[in-house]
Each structure stands twice: as structure tokens, then as C-alpha cells.
Chain A
Amino acid sequence: GIQVEQSPPDLILQEGANSTLRCNFSDSVNNLQWFHQNPWGQLINLFYIPSGTKQNGRLSATTVATERYSLLYISSSQTTDSGVYFCAVLIYNQGGKLIFGQGTELSVKP
């Protein structure tokens, strides 16, 4: 099956710094989602992005489907950005199943 790998596994930043999280996937996919899991466990939708670039405030994402990767950029990080970031690829012919990576745990220090 499709493998999804995220890097780095852990990241510690000083408040105000920028970061790039990477998601590689092993085969063609229909779509891709980025999530932020907060300390209470809830998954917050960040981006739904099969290809191209999207921006939402300090966050942006780029997916290059032909090269099988996606990047999540966080600029001017804040302590509230802390948590785990997941990418997940969406498989249409399996009922819209999501295959998740292992996540990147981000800690932003004040």
C-alpha cells in the first residue's frame, strides 16, 4: 500500500521563527490533507491540497503531486502552533480513506 513519511519527526523552535515540514508519499494519490492535532487531541483541518500552493494566514502548503511530496510552511511561529502536524493522503477508490504519516511534533518556545 501507499506509504506516507513525514520529516522531521520532532522540531523545536523559538517563537517568531519559520519552519518547513515535509510529507513524502510513495504513489500517486487523489488528494492530500494537512492537520494540526492540538494538545486535547482534536484534529484541526489546515489544508486540502491535491496540487499547487495555498495560503491561510501564517501557514501555507505546497503539493507537487508529480514528485510525490507536500510541504507545510509555518512563518512567525507562535506558542499556540505547538502540537503534532499530520499529513494524510486521500484515496478515492477506497471510500475516501485517509492514510496518515507519523506526524511532526512541533514545540514553539516563548
Chain B
Amino acid sequence: DGGITQSPKYLFRKEGQNVTLSCEQNLNHDAMYWYRQDPGQGLRLIYYSQIVNDFQKGDIAEGYSVSREKKESFPLTVTSAQKNPTAFYLCASSRGQPVTEAFFGQGTRLTVV
């Protein structure tokens, strides 16, 4: 089955800890994205990558980091510098150039305790 897999579904983090969210796709898509969703709001872009070993900051990149060592994988690290990390995180991918529609994973719900 082709798709985007995010893990874990739920994640609890203590204040001051870094955590890494996983995103894997087997759609052979070049572009991958991380979005954040807060309650009652739309999604906002954190980081995106159009090609392996390259990525760009989105609108709310502060306190986050990413890597893109493989085409299939785009992990997101939420660092201790992120002041309000509790949110729902969604990973997406698209074919890339030319830009086409994006497809989303099932999301990871992160809670800081």
C-alpha cells in the first residue's frame, strides 16, 4: 500500500527534552513537508524539502530541525527551544517539480507534560 506513515501517533515529552517525529513515504515523491496544527486552526508550514540533502524553513521553523538524508524519510526534531510544542504535527509529500497535489500522513499528537 502506497502512502505516508507517521510515527508515533501519540508522544509525550517532558519540558527541556528534544523529541523526533518520524515520517516515511513510499510514493516516490520528491517533496516532503511538515505542518503544525493547533486546536481550532488551520495548518502552518514548519519546514519543507524538495530534494534529498536540501530543505528550507517554512513560516514557523524556530525551535524545530529536520534532515533529508533519504528520499523516503523526513524526520522532524522538536527541540527544547520550541516554546509551545504541544500540537498536532502532520507530514505531507508531493511529486515535486512540477508541483502537484499534496498528500498527508495520519499525524502525531505531541503533548508536553
Contact = CB atoms under 8 A, between A and B. Distances in A.
Secondary structure of the B side of the interface?
A: strand
Interface in A42-62: 42-43, 45, 48
Contact of A96 (B102, B104, B106): B102
A101 B42 CA distance: 6
Contact of A103 (B42, B99, B104): B42
Contacts, number: 67
Contacts of B50: 95-96
Contacts of B31: 95-96
Contacts of B110: none
Interface residues on B, range: 20 to 34
A98 B42 CA distance: 11
A40 B37 CA distance: 13
A45 B100 CA distance: 12
Nearest to B41: A102
Interface of B: 31, 33, 35, 37, 40-45, 48, 50, 56, 58, 88, 90, 92, 94, 96, 98-104, 106-107, 109
